Structure 1
Amino acid sequence: MPGQFEVIIQGGRVVLPHGVERVDIGIRGGVIAAIAPGLIPDEHTLIYSGKDRIVFPGVVDAHVHFNEPGLAEWEGFTTGSAALAAGGITTYIDMPLNGVPPTTTRRGWECKQSAAADKSYVDYAFWGGLVPNNETELSFLAEVGAAGFKAFMSEPGGEGEEIFTRTDDKALIRGMTIIAELGGVLALHAESDEMTNALAFARISSGKVGAEDYLASRPPEAETEAVSRAIVYARETGCKLHFVHISTRRSVDLIKEAKRSGLDITVETCPHYLVLTEDDVLKLGAVAKCAPPLRNKEEQELLWEALLSGDIDLIASDHSPCPPDMKDTDNFFHIWGGIAGAQSTLLLMLEEGHVRRNVPLTLIASLLASEPARRFGLDTSKGEIAIGKDADFAIIDMNESYTLTREEIRYRHVISPYINRTFSCKVKATFSRGIQIYDDLHGLIDQRLGKFIPAVKQNTIVQGGDIYA
């Protein structure tokens, strides 16, 4: 019907939950109002041609570290969200650590809300944190819309009085009990602190401080031991778990077994585990250091097999930047561990997944958009191209090659293992709530229109059945 759409995205190959169809998308009030071929504009309707392009749901990156308040010189909401917008990411969930104060208390939450206001190009949510002795703060964080809670089973690093600290087993079980009562989800960095500390000490005390020594100090067994222990605690407390940045197939299999036993657990991996290996750490150095570390090629292929079989629930960037001087030392153990890569998440998954391995676009959309939105309570408005959802899209040309240059990096610091990487596809435009906030010719719009999206519910994962088209 004429006269009912402010914007129509016309003639694109649209990635819908059930498949890819060539249809138009009608937008009204920032929301998807119609999905059908041949939608009729009027004289006031803005037309965006999607001909010969993929219209992908706006990516929901559930794992970024923008380090505000307090450490905006590491990244900040403005530069971090600019990078996301340029990469087709339209919603992110910011982690509670590295900012000062961390988001583990009412004060920390209010400081983060204030720091983010009017600074973000795209919409956002926040994680709360679980640390020793903040159990009384958890109900407040849940009430104000935290997407979930983050805890570390190994030391997260950092210096100063107000830093995010490791949660020992007793505090972890207490916290999980409370989070279960609140109906929340606990996201866990699962590495055995005892194992990694002992192995690191043995290397460092022998003067072995290179990249290969760091890799050896954090073996796959450190991850699988912590995953196994956390699963026991989940069974005891009834707490829903989400394992972040899982790097090994054995951990995925442990989580799969726990799901089959009835536990509500999800598993996340990151693009860097799917496209980089430990050889890249030795070749690229500090820009490729992360924890857990990159694994070997064989382990990487096993992760891809797990992804294709539906055993990985979602993919997130774990964008973890820092100033350049924190990457500049000969002692690999002292280098800040984190990979800056959020701007490239969607293109990496399209290139390495869809183009090279024939991963269905619907599965990539589930991993990058619908499942993170659903798991963390943002799915009333985010995650899918569906009537009633926010009009968030990434417009992709699958036939235009693109090389990521230093000049196109939008992070605060031009540090990334993906610089000079060539893709066979390109993000042409990004829409957030029906507004085109980025295109590859003109860049970003002047306004920063991103708004806070509180988590309104936290769902139980559904097991069984083939959910992918």
Structure 2
Amino acid sequence: MSLDLVIHGQLVTPSEVFDGFLGIQDGKIAAISRGELDGPLLVGPLLDVSGQLVFPGGIDVHVHVSSSELHPEGWTRLTQCAAAGGITSVIDMPYDAPQPTVNAELFAAKVQRLRAEALIDAGLYGTIRKRGGVPDIAGMAAAGASAFKFSTYETDPQRFPRIPGDELLPALRKLGRLGLPAVFHAEDGEIIDALIEQLRPRGQESPRLHAQSRPPVSEMVAVAGLLELARAVTAAGFPVKLHIAHLTVPPGFHLLEHYRSLGIDVTAETCIHYLTLNEDDLEQQGAPLKCNPPLRPAAMQEALWAEVLAGRVSCVTTDHAPWPPQLKDKANIFDNKSGMPGLETMLPLLYSEGVVRRGLPLTEFARLTASGPAERFGLAHRKGSLRVGLDADLCILDPAATHTVRAAESYSIAQHSPYQGRTLQGRITHTLLRGQIVYDGQTVTAQPGYAQFLTPEFA
């Protein structure tokens, strides 16, 4: 078989890791061979990365392209970050400034921008207005929404509202009929707002006050309520796919496991920064590490790793939400924007901290970063695994090389990295999207317009 490209390396499939050859034809994985042990070698131009790990390209289902109207990351910059980080597909959140994606017209306009400006493939979330938005779900679903995002905490009444329970119930029933995931930012506003009011006057004393204003119970209360809503609509014949975003509290994963035993279709992600940073880092670095939910104490960080290693986490994401320095430099921690960059560092960090330091199996690494999110968000028919017939999306990592994080080399608007100066074991040498090299280990080579808009397909 003559192929467009043949790659030789350590192939990480869903079930095993072996030295082999992967053949690419017309942007798809056309053949996988163990070489001489499996018959004649595949024929075609050879990219020999012997000894390096060939993973499926990363899929990040939690990024923010346009959180700021004046200082947006933007599709081009964000997808440059992704390609440099071994990530070949993203799904963007709907909370754009000044107007979130709440109807089919806004959704279609966003798809146009994606196709014109992005370098890697991407899907989109939809959301609804605080009141009266349920009828708009059908139009966005028909236009290709991967999922719908809601919040139990109100960051802004228009851009990032809390959706009240009497609106959530019909929304969940609608999504249960459509078969699309309902994704939640799960924090309890009554607990948090009272604490912020109490602590804000002291906000210059310590960045740690931000974490104290959003305690673990604020997540657990919100998650428990959402599980009961999902149980109610499922019992009524609308089996909704519930997904909890950026869960930081280890007992929350056990609660989800219990509800799964009751027949509820529920999953949860955590973010790379909750696994690699904690409250001590927030105290030291300050506002650049402010995020919601906040970083947790070191003991909880280690307990979260136990959930990852036990297989109770469905995927790891970035919640990539960068802000320029002028929006992260206020003396009072509560006056700074929340969010941080992560796309360029997620896969190297998870490899270095998870695989090298804690023994995370390579197949689990691939599940957390590729096949898990692909399956949950309807992309497994094209993405997420090294399997014949799927898109040839690859992340190639040299396990023997080290990499020191330097913010000055980043494509992000943030001009900051929480991991500045941290040396990681493992370095990404190539990123391929649909068979084309989009990152060569030094430079992102793809151009705007190469991206495809991803629409979900559920079995």
Q: Do these two structures clear the TM 0.5 threshold for a shared fold by scoring above it?
A: yes
- Counterpart-to-counterpart distance in 2, 1:226 and 1:235: 14
Q: Please report how far the alpha carbon of residue 442 of structure 1 lies from its aligned counterpart in structure 2 after TM superposition.
A: 4.4
The equivalent of 1:219 in structure 2 is 215
Q: Secondary structure at the match of 1:259?
A: helix
1:239-250 equivalences in 2 (<5 Å): 239-250=240-251
Matched, 1:26 2:15: no
Equivalent residue for 1:198, pick from 182, 194, 198: 194
- Counterpart-to-counterpart distance in 2, 1:270 and 1:206: 28
- Counterpart-to-counterpart distance in 1, 2:202 and 2:444: 50
The equivalent of 2:428 in structure 1 is 427
Equivalent residue for 1:130, pick from 113, 128, 131: 128
The equivalent of 1:237 in structure 2 is 233
Q: Secondary structure at the match of 2:286?
A: helix
- Counterpart-to-counterpart distance in 2, 1:119 and 1:30: 20
The equivalent of 2:397 in structure 1 is 396
Residue identity matched to 1:108: L
The equivalent of 2:155 in structure 1 is 156
Matched, 1:265 2:266: yes
- Counterpart-to-counterpart distance in 1, 2:412 and 2:58: 18
The equivalent of 2:7 in structure 1 is 9
Residue identity matched to 1:156: T
Indicate how the Cα distance of structure 1 residues 346 and 15 shifts in structure 2: closer, same or farther if over 3 A, else same.
Answer: same
Q: Please report how far the alpha carbon of residue 37 of structure 1 lies from its aligned counterpart in structure 2 after TM superposition.
A: 2.5
Q: Please report how far the alpha carbon of residue 395 of structure 1 lies from its aligned counterpart in structure 2 after TM superposition.
A: 0.8
Q: Please report how far the alpha carbon of residue 422 of structure 1 lies from its aligned counterpart in structure 2 after TM superposition.
A: 1.0
The equivalent of 1:188 in structure 2 is 184
Q: Please report how far the alpha carbon of residue 40 of structure 1 lies from its aligned counterpart in structure 2 after TM superposition.
A: 3.9
1:255-334 equivalences in 2 (<5 Å): 255-334=256-335
Equivalent residue for 2:84, pick from 59, 83, 86: 86
Q: Please report how far the alpha carbon of residue 339 of structure 1 lies from its aligned counterpart in structure 2 after TM superposition.
A: 1.6
- Counterpart-to-counterpart distance in 2, 1:125 and 1:84: 14
Q: Is the 8 A contact 1:341 1:418 kept in 2?
A: no
The equivalent of 1:462 in structure 2 is none
Q: Is the 8 A contact 1:315 1:367 kept in 2?
A: yes
- Counterpart-to-counterpart distance in 2, 1:145 and 1:207: 43
Residue identity matched to 1:257: H
- Counterpart-to-counterpart distance in 1, 2:369 and 2:309: 14
Q: Secondary structure at the match of 2:246?
A: coil
- Counterpart-to-counterpart distance in 1, 2:232 and 2:173: 9
Q: Please report how far the alpha carbon of residue 447 of structure 1 lies from its aligned counterpart in structure 2 after TM superposition.
A: 5.6
In the alignment of these two chains, the number of paired residues is: 449
After TM superposition, the score normalised by the length of structure 1 is: 0.92
Q: Please report how far the alpha carbon of residue 96 of structure 1 lies from its aligned counterpart in structure 2 after TM superposition.
A: 0.3
Q: Is the 8 A contact 1:322 1:336 kept in 2?
A: yes
Q: Secondary structure at the match of 1:50?
A: strand
Q: Please report how far the alpha carbon of residue 424 of structure 1 lies from its aligned counterpart in structure 2 after TM superposition.
A: 1.3
Q: Which moved more, 1:346-355 or 1:90-99?
A: 90-99
CA distances 1:351-394 after superposition (whole Å, capped 9, x unpaired):
00000001001001101100101110111000000000000001
CA distances 1:222-269 after superposition (whole Å, capped 9, x unpaired):
000000111110011122210000001111111111111110000100
Q: Is the 8 A contact 1:122 1:450 kept in 2?
A: yes
Q: Secondary structure at the match of 2:135?
A: helix
Q: Please report how far the alpha carbon of residue 95 of structure 1 lies from its aligned counterpart in structure 2 after TM superposition.
A: 0.5
Q: Please report how far the alpha carbon of residue 98 of structure 1 lies from its aligned counterpart in structure 2 after TM superposition.
A: 2.6
Matched, 1:64 2:63: yes
Indicate how the Cα distance of structure 1 residues 122 and 329 shifts in structure 2: closer, same or farther if over 3 A, else same.
Answer: same
Q: Is the 8 A contact 1:83 1:409 kept in 2?
A: yes
CA RMSD of aligned residues (A): 1.7
Q: Is the 8 A contact 1:86 1:444 kept in 2?
A: no
CA distances 1:22-58 after superposition (whole Å, capped 9, x unpaired):
110011110001000236455xx32111211000110
Q: Is the 8 A contact 2:83 2:444 kept in 1?
A: no
Q: Secondary structure at the match of 1:118?
A: helix
Residue identity matched to 1:304: W
- Counterpart-to-counterpart distance in 2, 1:414 and 1:266: 33
Q: Please report how far the alpha carbon of residue 174 of structure 1 lies from its aligned counterpart in structure 2 after TM superposition.
A: 2.5
Q: Please report how far the alpha carbon of residue 89 of structure 1 lies from its aligned counterpart in structure 2 after TM superposition.
A: 0.2
CA distances 1:6-36 after superposition (whole Å, capped 9, x unpaired):
11002x0010001101110011110001000
- Displaced runs of 4 or more, over 3 A: 39-42, 205-210, 445-448
Q: Secondary structure at the match of 1:400?
A: strand
- Counterpart-to-counterpart distance in 1, 2:179 and 2:21: 38
Residue identity matched to 2:145: A
The equivalent of 2:388 in structure 1 is 387
Q: Is the 8 A contact 1:320 1:340 kept in 2?
A: yes
Residue identity matched to 1:419: Q
After TM superposition, the score normalised by the length of structure 2 is: 0.94
Indicate how the Cα distance of structure 1 residues 406 and 212 shifts in structure 2: closer, same or farther if over 3 A, else same.
Answer: closer
Q: Is the 8 A contact 1:391 1:432 kept in 2?
A: yes
Q: Is the 8 A contact 1:131 1:166 kept in 2?
A: no
Q: Please report how far the alpha carbon of residue 206 of structure 1 lies from its aligned counterpart in structure 2 after TM superposition.
A: 6.2
- Counterpart-to-counterpart distance in 1, 2:193 and 2:165: 16
Q: Secondary structure at the match of 1:90?
A: strand
Q: Please report how far the alpha carbon of residue 421 of structure 1 lies from its aligned counterpart in structure 2 after TM superposition.
A: 1.8
- Counterpart-to-counterpart distance in 1, 2:327 and 2:428: 31
Equivalent residue for 2:73, pick from 66, 69, 75: 75
Q: Please report how far the alpha carbon of residue 453 of structure 1 lies from its aligned counterpart in structure 2 after TM superposition.
A: 1.1
Residue identity matched to 1:73: H
Q: Please report how far the alpha carbon of residue 208 of structure 1 lies from its aligned counterpart in structure 2 after TM superposition.
A: 6.7
Indicate how the Cα distance of structure 1 residues 219 and 442 shifts in structure 2: closer, same or farther if over 3 A, else same.
Answer: closer
Indicate how the Cα distance of structure 1 residues 115 and 141 shifts in structure 2: closer, same or farther if over 3 A, else same.
Answer: same
The equivalent of 2:237 in structure 1 is none
Q: Could you list the runs of 5+ residues in structure 2 that have no partner in the other structure?
A: 235-239
Matched, 1:170 2:166: yes
Matched, 1:410 2:408: no
- Counterpart-to-counterpart distance in 1, 2:5 and 2:241: 40
Equivalent residue for 1:101, pick from 99, 102, 117: 99
Q: Is the 8 A contact 2:63 2:319 kept in 1?
A: yes
Q: Please report how far the alpha carbon of residue 108 of structure 1 lies from its aligned counterpart in structure 2 after TM superposition.
A: 1.6
Percent identity, please. 34
